[in-house]
Structure 1
Amino acid sequence: MKHAAFEKTIKAVTCSLLLLSMAAQTDLTMAFGFGSMDEDKVVTVYDGKNKKVVTTRANSFKKVLSDSDVTLNAYDKYWTSSDDVKNGAVVVVERAKPVTIVANGKARTVYTTQQTVQGVVNEAGFDWKKMMPIEDSMMKVTQGMQIHVVPYTARVVNRTESIPIHYNKWFDASLAPGQMEVVQEGTPGRREVEMEEYVSDGKVIKAEAGDVKVLTHGVPGIAKTGDAEGTMGYVKNMSASAYHPTDGDGFGITATGTRAGHGTVAVDPRVIPLGSTVYIPNYGEAVAADTGGAIIGDRIDLCMETFEECYNFGRQNVEVFVNY
């Protein structure tokens, strides 16, 4: 019995020594980088305009950057697409830029990875409720720029101002791209604008528009342009004559069944489709609602209210603004 117990003890000791030997071998193997159980991972590193795609077994992003020969300076930062290094991960390096902040008559240089002026000011510890940059707060930060931070107070004022004239535009193929000619001036409207002004040392350094109340609506102007995009229609040069509603059969009924009058024009439907709305300078807006036996091609007949108007108009070359 003693012999059997002794043999069991010997086997147990031998097994323990074998396990210790295997563990030691594994530790040495891992220490020297051989036989690692980690899998290869593909990681993309962006450093400004430089992009590197690396295959790594690193378990930290710092090691990934080091293996990619990316050196971080004191104020540089980086962010990653995941907490752990995994296949498909992305690392973005942000390089700190030197920026000079001028405040209270003193200048100091800071290094920052912030992208906007306001971001730099906030990062520098200024209370945005009391201090603000003179520069546009959303301006992109550039290396070596100066940012001037001043104390301010805010106030709200109401201003009355003109509304810029809007021009309805028609495409004129005879004009060059970018060229525009005003055919009829419009009328500006009026509006009341609530402005929030930021004042420093008695001067308004910034102003932002708030609520807007339209007081009077303007009248759109009419213009021709050499750019087709954004136009309401096109311009055609046509030969125009005038007619009275009682001309023809004397009943004053148009080809589309409406009653003729000022604002009704006769056209060749192959040139201007019936039902189209048009504008003719010195005549006004009209509808292409009629036809005529002599109205062929680039001809148009304008309906007048009196025979005298027809006689005075005679025959003229006119520009016809045809809506799409």
Structure 2
Amino acid sequence: MKHRTFEKAVKAVTCSLLLFSMAAQADLSLAFGFGMNGEDKTVTVYDGSQKKVITTNATNFKQVLNESDVVLNAYDKYWTSGDDVRDGSVVVVERAKPVTIVSGNRAKTVYTTKQTVQGVVNEAGFDWKKMMPIEDGMMKVAQGMQIHVVPYTSRVVNRVESIPVRYNSWYDSTLAPGQMEIVQEGTQGKREVEMEEYISDGKVIRAEAGNVKILSQGTPGIAKTGDMEGTKGYVRNMSATAYHPTDGGGFGITATGTRAGHGTVAVDPRVIPLGSSVYIPGYGEAVAADTGGAIIGDRIDLCMETFEECYNFGRRNVEVFVNY
């Protein structure tokens, strides 16, 4: 009997010692800042255009918002960078905006944190397969805006339309920045566009382009510009003459070894490198493939097919469009 009493006494003392040891460890943890919940963390809070960076030992994000003096209204929301408050966590507050949804003869004001018109319509419970906003669904929501929701049907139609003329531009240092002069008009192309039209009350309220089929490319125009960016080359004012392939040695072979003909021009290689592609209004596209004893500096000699063409051309000042 005494033996059992002694065992009970030993167990009681042992339990007391364990409890004392655990309590002492807890006190030490609090005293020295041990334990995850007690650690200081840096958290950034974004509330619209305001940004606050706080140091906190909060264990949940509601405490973080309270410490940041952020008051949430009934429909406001917030999202966080993670589930737990950690060092470097981010909290973003989204403020609800009042928006009026008009459908038929009914108007209802709702408070929303959605960023787009379509998001508001979806949140309000409208079936997007049957109802749609007249406004662009991707339009950014603004406080106090009205969104008009209507029933609709859709159809697919094919339309043939013109492709705007594209202009190849050459830099002209005599023009001011932003100035452009058309040298040669281009021609429009044609394309067939598959359009999905959305109809409400017998009127097309929106149309979206689908597949596009090019019917004809058109031809690009030529323009001079005072802006160097995006240009194909540069414009140089030169004195031009004309020559026949049989001039000179009479063999019709250029300095680069090609046969001379319309589209061959002679240049000073120090001004326009041999092999350069050029365009001369009234003459057309050409290649700087030849040289000449009298072709020095801003001189250019255009090869013609007949002596009559050479005679009629004579000497004149031309603009030479040199490709880079």
> TM-score, normalising length from structure 1?
0.93
8 Å contact from structure 2 (residues 33, 39) kept in 1: no
In the alignment, the residues of structure 2 paired with residue 35 and residue 286 of structure 1 have an alpha-carbon distance, to the nearest angstrom, of 83
Deviations 1:264-287 (Å, cap 9, x if unpaired)?
Answer: 000011111000000000000000
Matches within 5 A, 1:11-30: 11-17=10-16
* 1:40, distance to aligned residue in structure 2 (A): 2.0
* 1:41, distance to aligned residue in structure 2 (A): 2.0
In the alignment, the residues of structure 2 paired with residue 88 and residue 9 of structure 1 have an alpha-carbon distance, to the nearest angstrom, of 53
Sequence identity of aligned pairs in percent? 76
In the alignment, the residues of structure 2 paired with residue 266 and residue 156 of structure 1 have an alpha-carbon distance, to the nearest angstrom, of 57
8 Å contact from structure 2 (residues 60, 84) kept in 1: yes
Secondary structure of residue in 2 paired with 1:119:
helix
Q: State the partner residue of 2:315.
A: 315
8 Å contact from structure 2 (residues 243, 303) kept in 1: yes
In the alignment, the residues of structure 1 paired with residue 259 and residue 123 of structure 2 have an alpha-carbon distance, to the nearest angstrom, of 74
Secondary structure of residue in 1 paired with 2:312:
helix
Q: State the partner residue of 2:217.
A: 217
* 1:10, distance to aligned residue in structure 2 (A): 3.8
Deviations 1:70-110 (Å, cap 9, x if unpaired)?
Answer: 11111111111111112222111111111111111211111
Q: State the partner residue of 1:68.
A: 68
In the alignment, the residues of structure 2 paired with residue 289 and residue 54 of structure 1 have an alpha-carbon distance, to the nearest angstrom, of 72
Comparing 153-162 with 282-291, greater Cα deviation is found at 153-162
8 Å contact from structure 2 (residues 245, 305) kept in 1: yes
Q: State the partner residue of 1:183.
A: 183
Matches within 5 A, 1:147-162: 147-162=147-162
Q: State the partner residue of 1:168.
A: 168
Deviations 1:16-75 (Å, cap 9, x if unpaired)?
Answer: 456557778999999x99966332222221111222222222111111111121111111
* 1:175, distance to aligned residue in structure 2 (A): 1.0
In the alignment, the residues of structure 2 paired with residue 99 and residue 183 of structure 1 have an alpha-carbon distance, to the nearest angstrom, of 52
Matches within 5 A, 1:2-17: 2=2, 6=5, 8-17=7-16
In the alignment, the residues of structure 1 paired with residue 286 and residue 275 of structure 2 have an alpha-carbon distance, to the nearest angstrom, of 10
Q: State the partner residue of 1:45.
A: 45
Comparing 16-25 with 250-259, greater Cα deviation is found at 16-25
Q: State the partner residue of 1:247.
A: 247
Secondary structure of residue in 2 paired with 1:92:
strand
Matches within 5 A, 1:164-313: 164-313=164-313
* 1:216, distance to aligned residue in structure 2 (A): 2.0
Q: Which ranges in structure 1 are unaligned for 5 or more consecutive residues?
A: none
Letter in 1 for 2:82: S
Secondary structure of residue in 1 paired with 2:310:
helix
How many equivalent residue pairs?
A: 322
* 1:303, distance to aligned residue in structure 2 (A): 0.6
Letter in 2 for 1:241: T
* 1:217, distance to aligned residue in structure 2 (A): 2.2
Secondary structure of residue in 1 paired with 2:251:
coil
Going from structure 1 to structure 2, the CA distance change for 1:115 and 1:29 (only over 3 Å counts) comes to farther
Comparing 271-280 with 37-46, greater Cα deviation is found at 37-46
Q: State the partner residue of 2:139.
A: 139
Letter in 1 for 2:139: M
8 Å contact from structure 2 (residues 267, 292) kept in 1: yes
Letter in 2 for 1:191: R
Deviations 1:275-320 (Å, cap 9, x if unpaired)?
Answer: 0000000000000000111111111110111111111111101000
* 1:15, distance to aligned residue in structure 2 (A): 4.6
Comparing 37-46 with 200-209, greater Cα deviation is found at 37-46
Q: Which ranges in structure 2 are unaligned for 5 or more consecutive residues?
A: none
Q: State the partner residue of 1:115.
A: 115
Secondary structure of residue in 1 paired with 2:79:
strand
In the alignment, the residues of structure 2 paired with residue 157 and residue 223 of structure 1 have an alpha-carbon distance, to the nearest angstrom, of 36
Letter in 1 for 2:111: Y
In the alignment, the residues of structure 1 paired with residue 116 and residue 61 of structure 2 have an alpha-carbon distance, to the nearest angstrom, of 27
In the alignment, the residues of structure 1 paired with residue 76 and residue 205 of structure 2 have an alpha-carbon distance, to the nearest angstrom, of 33
> TM-score, normalising length from structure 2?
0.93
Letter in 2 for 1:174: T
